């Protein structure tokens, strides 16, 4: 066994009290030297639901979806979990998926310590033997070998530094020798309105260098991450592979992203009720689907937006939601066959992505799980079935793409369509910003400048939009007939 992360659906916090305290629960600890018993009570009063202490908290003494960092023997890593609790308590509305990512970084650090036989609390005189410097060196080698991206490396090292910083400032840890050398730097940045500001930040000599010169031939776009729009040949291979595999749910999921630019959490939290209205009840070539808080459809950062779903694709979704296949999946889901269920469910009736409402501890009982569902089934389908087939079609055994790349592909397809129609730059910029919910105009500008400044992609072919529509129709016809 190795260090790992598990998830507690609902973690109630407790405090140690005298045995005579009303509601006290005995807890027994057994050690090789003997044992002891202490008593606890929940921090939240069971009658009022309020914290017994005076500090305000976003949920009274209870954390939903708490990520537990476990050691190789299965025991919780006490200091790591206390740090997570401390950080969560400091947030008025914490995103638990963010803290799950932090827990994963701590797990990676712990596995390294265990593999190398390093005591994480021992800081010898020799700087290169200290756990922080050894881990930094290991991460740098992984980046050089292509085993780890610079972004992930910087995040992992940053998590370790923040963890030790908390240990020293809040937990009373006093290392024999300094875990790093610290210095101050000034960073200039621009806010969303374009105004420049300068902030002072502390940096360490453990920092992973990842600054790169701008590459005019780079085939990626920065849009919530480095995304690679798929050129026409790869889009064709994608659609042909989906048609061959014949999985209607996965086909619709991928086409949803390709045709609307929606992120995975948005696609997978669309509900059956959102495509129940007959297509002939709408006017125009596309159907507008409101997303965000209050709609039942999750969005990144909880922003509100509107997806423009092509009418032809909406008609396919309408047919699917009324199909026997979709109905049987809803019947197996918790709550049975009703139209508030997710549109896309697994063959066992489980949601592919747990929306914010389902993660509410006030409406769900306590559960213990290894992870929260965030589209892992889609990524596994890509890895195990879709990519192998695309590699054959493209004659490239090392070919890769991610689901999120479909968002950038949608954006570039829209740019191509507007370019072909002679849309003026300012109008195209505004349309793309609205379609993709960009906050910063510079993100939209990156798409508009992509064709001109980067020549790695296929030249825009006349009629590619029509060709894509034909491929989509053929793909759906093939899958639905399977």
Count of positions (residues) in the chain: 482
**Percentage with pLDDT > 90 across the chain:** 45
Q: What is the pLDDT of residue 252?
A: 96
> Measuring CA to CA, which residue among 444, 459, 457 is closest to residue 414?
444
Give residue-wise pLDDT tens across range 174-219. 999 999 998 876 666 555 555 566 666 678 888 887 554 444 445 6
Distance CA 382, CA 254 (A): 10
Task: Give the residue carrying structure tokens 């020549």.
Answer: 455
For residue 432, is pLDDT > 70? Answer: yes
The answer to whether the CB of 107 falls within 8 A of the CB of 4 is: yes
Mean pLDDT across the stretch 308-326? Answer: 95
Distance CA 374, CA 97 (A): 9
For residue 462, is pLDDT > 90? Answer: no
Q: What is the pLDDT of residue 458?
A: 45
- CA max distance for the chain: 81
For residue 280, is pLDDT > 80? Answer: yes
Sketch out the chain's domains with CATH numbers. 4-169 (no CATH), 221-481 (1.10.443.10)
C-alpha count within 13 angstroms, C-beta hemisphere, residue 437: 20
Using alpha carbons, list the distances in angstroms from residue 334 to 14, 338, 358, 367.
Answer: 31, 10, 11, 15
For residue 357, is pLDDT > 60? Answer: yes
- Look up the pTM and report it: 0.61
Give residue-wise pLDDT tens across range 223-276. 666 788 888 889 999 999 999 999 999 999 999 999 999 999 999 999 999 999
Element (H, E) at 425: helix 425-436
Confidence tier at 56 by pLDDT (50, 70, 90) = very low
Distance CA 19, CA 22 (A): 8
Distance CA 269, CA 154 (A): 31
Distance CA 352, CA 175 (A): 45
Q: What is the pLDDT of residue 429?
A: 80
Distance CA 275, CA 321 (A): 7
Q: Which residues of 15-45 are buried (b: 16+ CB within 10 A; e: fewer)?
A: eebeeeeeebeeeeeeeeeeeeeebbbbbbe
**In sequence order, what are the beta bridge partners of 69?**
5
Per the model's pLDDT, the better-predicted residue between 76 and 16 turns out to be 76
């Amino acid at each position: 066994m190795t260090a790992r992360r598990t998830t507690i659906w609902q973690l109630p916090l407790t405090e140690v009290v005298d045995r005579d305290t009303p509601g006290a629960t005995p807890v027994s600890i057994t050690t090789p030297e003997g044992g002891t018993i202490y008593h606890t009570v929940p921090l939240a009063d069971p009658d009022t639901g309020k914290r017994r202490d005076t500090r305000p908290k976003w949920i009274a003494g209870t954390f939903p979806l708490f990520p537990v960092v476990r050691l190789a023997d299965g025991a919780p890593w006490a200091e790591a979990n206390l740090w997570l609790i401390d950080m969560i308590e400091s947030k008025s509305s914490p995103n638990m998926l963010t803290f799950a990512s932090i827990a994963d970084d701590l797990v990676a650090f712990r596995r390294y310590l265990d593999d190398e036989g390093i005591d994480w609390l021992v800081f010898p005189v020799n700087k290169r033997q200290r756990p922080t410097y050894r881990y930094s060196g290991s991460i740098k080698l992984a980046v050089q070998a292509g085993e780890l991206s610079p972004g992930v490396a910087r995040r992992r090292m940053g998590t370790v530094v923040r963890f030790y910083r908390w240990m020293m400032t809040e937990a009373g840890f006093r290392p024999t020798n300094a875990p790093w050398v610290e210095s101050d730097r000034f960073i200039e940045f621009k806010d969303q309105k374009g105004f420049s500001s300068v902030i002072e930040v502390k940096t360490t000599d453990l920092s992973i260098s990842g600054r790169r010169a701008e590459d005019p031939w780079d085939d990626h776009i920065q849009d919530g991450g480095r995304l690679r729009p798929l050129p026409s040949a790869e889009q064709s291979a994608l659609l042909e592979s989906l048609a061959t595999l014949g999985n209607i749910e996965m086909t619709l999921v991928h086409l949803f992203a390709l045709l609307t630019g929606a992120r995975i959490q948005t696609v997978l939290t669309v509900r059956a009720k959102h495509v129940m209205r007959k297509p002939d009840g709408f006017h125009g070539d596309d159907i507008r689907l409101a997303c965000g808080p209050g709609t039942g459809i999750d969005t990144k950062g909880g922003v509100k937006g509107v997806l423009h779903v092509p009418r032809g694709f909406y008609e396919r979704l309408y047919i699917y939601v009324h199909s026997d296949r979709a109905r049987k999946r809803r019947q197996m889901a918790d709550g049975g066959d009703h139209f508030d269920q997710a549109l896309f469910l697994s063959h066992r009736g489980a949601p592919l992505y747990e929306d914010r409402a389902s993660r509410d501890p006030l409406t769900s009982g306590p559960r213990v799980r290894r992870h929260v569902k965030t589209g892992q089934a889609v990524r596994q389908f890509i890895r195990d079935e879709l990519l192998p087939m695309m590699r054959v079609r493209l004659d490239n055994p090392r070919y890769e793409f991610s689901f999120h790349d479909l968002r950038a592909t949608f954006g570039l397809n829209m740019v191509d369509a507007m370019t072909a129609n002679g849309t003026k730059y300012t109008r195209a910029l505004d349309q793309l910003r609205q379609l993709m919910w960009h906050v910063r105009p510079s993100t939209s500008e990156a798409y508009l400048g992509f064709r001109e400044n980067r020549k790695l992609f296929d030249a825009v072919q006349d009629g590619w939009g029509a060709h894509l529509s034909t491929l989509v129709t053929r793909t759906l016809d093939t899958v639905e007939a399977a």
